[in-house]
Every structure is written in C-alpha cells, then in structure tokens.
Amino acid sequence: MMEAPPFDKSLGMQYYATDTCPAGGRIKERVEDFVVEEILKDGTVVSVNGVALTPRVGNWTWIHVVKRGVDTLKFVLRLAKALGVNPRDISIGGIKDTRAVTSQIVSVRGTVSSLPQIPGVEFLGMWPMDRPITPAEIYGNRFTIVVRGVDRADCAAEALAALAKTPIPNYYGYQRFGTVRPVGHLLGLALLKKDAEAFFDVMFCKIFPRESEAAKRARELACRGEYAKALEAFPKRFLEERAFLRKLVEGADLWNAAMAIPGQILKIYIEAAQSYVFNLFLSRRMELAPLEPVEGDLVDVGGQVAYYVEGLAGDLVLPVPGAGVKMPRGRVGEALVRVVKDLGLDPALFLKMPRGLRAYGSYRRARLDVGQLEYKVAGGEVEIRMTLPRGSYATVVLREVVKPVDPAAHGF
C-alpha cells in the first residue's frame, strides 16, 4: 500500500493497493481501446460479436446494442424518440463508458417491429421477453483495454502481477467525479449542508486549467456577480450553470436559484458526495488493517448485512452514507464517525433535503474482485482483459498500473 497523489486524495482515494512504480501511458486513445461487454447474471456475455438469448412470451423487447463512442443516456433518448415511446419505457442494466465500444442489452416496453439507424450504433438482435432489463439482471462487465504510450513496461508488468494477488480497494472511480472539473462531490456536500454560498463558490469560483476558455471566462463573470453577462457567455451545453444564473438574473436568492437546476443533476451531486465519503471511509479502513473482516466490521452474508464475529463468513462491506444504514463498531466505527464529523455532516441531513433529493444509504464491498485477469505487455502497449462485478470501476484497476498524477492527461 502506498500514498496516492493529491488529485486522487481530493476524491477520497488516498492509497494505492500496490507499491509498484508508475507505468504511465494513456487509455482510450481510440474508442476500440476500451471494450465493455455486459455479463448477465447467469454468466452470459453480451459479446460485441453477438449473443444468443432464449425468448420469452411477454410485453418487453430485449435489444442487443453495440455502441461506439456514444453516450448511453443520449442514446436512450434518441431511441425513444425514433420509436415514438416514452424514455421511461426504455430500461438498461447500467450506464457504459462513452469513449468506448460497449455491448449491452436495452429493453423496450411492448413490441418493436423495426429499429432506426443511429450513428455509432449497431443493433445485433431482438427478443421478446417477459420482463425489462434492470441492474438486478446484470452480474458485471468484461473489459478488454489497451493502454498505449506506456513509459515503463517493466512497471506495468510488475503492477499487473501484483494485482493478481493483492486485494484492491473498491473505490468509486474517476468517472464518478470527473477529471477535468472534479467538483460534483463538493457541490453535493454543499447541498447536504444547505450552504448556498459554498455551492455558488464551487459552481462558479472554482476554475480548473483544463476547462475551455469560454467556460473559464463565464465562471469569472459569474463569480464577480455579473450574472447576466455570465449567462450570455456560457455555451448552451452548460445546463446547470445556465439554470442557476437565469434565476439569479431574475432576482432569486442563492438557494432557490440552485434549486432551479434540474433535479436529476442535483441528485448526481449528492450521489457524488456519498461516493466521496465512501472513498474516505475505505481509505481510513485500509489504514487500520488489511481488507479482511475484523471484529466490529460489517459483512454481507448472503445479501444480509451483519456485524462480523470470528468464524462468520461474508464479504467485508462499508456503508455508503445516507439514511437507513448502520455504522461499523469498535475502532473501525470510531474512525468512520470521525470522517463524518470532520466533514461537518450529520446523518440527519440526508433526509432533510427537498423531496426527490433525499439520500438513502447502502453498503458496498470494500474489495474489488477482479475475475479472469489476463494481460500482455509488449513494447509501449499493455493489453488487459478482466471481468468486474456491477458497480466496480475498471479505472480503479488501471490507476494501479498507470499511477497518474494528472488523470486527464492519461485519458482517464
């Protein structure tokens, strides 16, 4: 275990499991460098080359979709429009990476007679089914990843060999927070504390080097209180900033202006805050002992979370903070309570949010279980093939190899 660089620490990922040297390199230089294939709960791999499923009589249609460089949610909206259905009548088992080749099942309520042509999208099969595809139907994903421009092939080989026998912390990865503008968790914390001034400061006064010049200029104007000019300066794709500013121009106070941001986006901020606190919990737990259960820990035993006692089999889990979860006991519990207090959070805050933003807690495995890990190191390229359970991040594995100081510069 060794300390991570400042960027990772700012997201709660304070450690690497491996103590190998940085290999460097870039991921996702081409969309074909990052292939994600869904694995159904029965072990069926939804391969980019096709999959055979058994149809069932019912009111749903399952569709095999392969996307190349296409955002999952934008695809769902476009498909709904083309089919003339409500987006709520389309379901998925998970959101896949955009800069990637991804293969997954999408389900549509009712019968689908024909499919549209959508750039970057192939439809490889359709089956009638008796239920929608949901996250509960998914085991995880199979990844085939190429890292290019590796600086130290020996470091990559050493890290991958170590990963085959080292427990990896199941952090929420970079995608949860962003690498160009990693502030979602800070906005979420401000919302939970109902600190409208802090929310405004993070939204407009925190400016990052990799942002576009247009965004930097618009934020500077907003931070100075020139709301009308900032609204005009922000490109239309900045939905949340523009919604916030529009209300400020109309004379709303900071809190009510923030509440004008679409609820789905505000919810993402709160979930990012929960993820950040979980990452801090996991980092603190790594400081106390290896990622094996000790007395006072929480373990998942067949889907039920219980306090660990010697002899009890189960997977070590930590709470994702929110209403309805229990904390570990003993020194583990004490360490996690200190994290919450240091952040100025109170568990009651998660339920005191406006309707639709109330945050409920859950439990997440502390260890990332990598399956079927295979790799090849040749010259300046590394090819990695592995399976991960649903909800785990391939980039958490890749960061152990690349060890980036500036993740965005390495394609993360």
Angle (nearest 5°) at CA 143 between 291 and 72 = 105
Strand partners, 105: 64
Strand partners, 368: 168
Give the residue from 202, 172, 197, 173 showing the smallest Cα distance to 186.
202
Other Cβ atoms within 10 Å of 313 Cβ, number: 9
Q: Considering the candidates 33, 71, 89, 97, report the single residue annotated as catalytic.
A: 97
For CA atoms 116, 120, 125, 127, give the dihedral sign.
negative
Other Cβ atoms within 10 Å of 224 Cβ, number: 12
Distance separating alpha carbons of residues 99 and 31, to the nearest angstrom: 5
Asked if 244 and 258 touch (Cβ cutoff 8 Å), the reply is yes
Q: Would you give the DSSP letter of residue 388?
A: E
327 contact partners, CB below 8 Å, separation of at least 6:
319, 333, 336, 337
Distance separating alpha carbons of residues 333 and 331, to the nearest angstrom: 5
Q: What's the one-letter identity of residue 131?
A: R
The two structure tokens encoding residue 370: 């990598």
**Is 97 one of the catalytic residues?**
yes
Angle (nearest 5°) at CA 321 between 176 and 349 = 110
For CA atoms 286, 292, 298, 300, give the dihedral sign.
positive
**How far are the Cα atoms of 121, 147, 148, 160, 175 from residue 382, in angstroms, in the given order?**
27, 5, 7, 10, 21
Other Cβ atoms within 10 Å of 348 Cβ, number: 8
Catalytic amino acids?
Answer: 97
